[in-house]
Amino acid sequence: MIGYSPGRTVPYAVPALFLLAFSESSFFPVPPDVLLIALAISIPSKAFYFAAVCSVGSVLGGMLGYLIGYEFMEVVGNRIVAFYGFMDKWQAVGELYNNYAAWAVAIAGFTPIPYKVFTIAGGAFKIDFLVFVLASFVSRSARFFLVSTLIYYFGPPIKSFIDKYFNTLAIVFAVLLVGGFVLVKYVMN
């Protein structure tokens, strides 16, 4: 980048992060993690601020995805779901929502599963909106703050680790989280 120096970002970087997080949660294919990592590495002292911007943008974008599924499934939603190759899995997604609404949103929000498909499904299958928003807020914030925390404490060298292992670590974390709750449920009964 011409004129790049650590500790400085371009004036439109934060709005771009917000818009990227917003659009990725409802229709856009590029995850905001790439820009979040670049900004957090650029100014580590603002890593948590960038994670907060990303989280808010993502949850608001998820609400748009919910609206698309709730009101505009035939017009727009089906096309988005088809674009991501989930039409043949749509009924399975619906069953996940009927049985585990908050968990389905939370796992999709944290892992590399296309979150936008689950935001649209949330509206299409009419899960409780408050449950949807809370699960989205917790999972998306956990994802973005985890990335920012790693960068804040470990600096630029952690970037290659995140790039290489984030998807695997996210899936392992989700499995352990769900497994822990299942174990507690059976131990408590």
23 is in which domain, residue-wise? 13-188
Judged against a pLDDT cut of 60, whether residue 113 lies above it is answered with yes
**Predicted model pTM:** 0.79
Judged against a pLDDT cut of 70, whether residue 91 lies above it is answered with yes
Confidence of residue 94 (pLDDT cuts 50, 70, 90): confident
CA gyration radius for the chain? 17
3-state secondary structure of 111: coil
Residue 6, domain member (yes or no) = no
Q: What is the mean pLDDT of residues 148-171?
A: 78
Token pair in block for residue 39: 């900004």
Residue 1, domain member (yes or no) = no
Between 51 and 175, name the one with better pLDDT. Answer: 51
Residue 47 CA to residue 52 CA, distance in Å, equals 9
Note whether 108 and 118 are within 8 A (CB).
yes
Provide the number of structural domains found in the chain: 1
Q: What is the pLDDT of residue 59?
A: 97
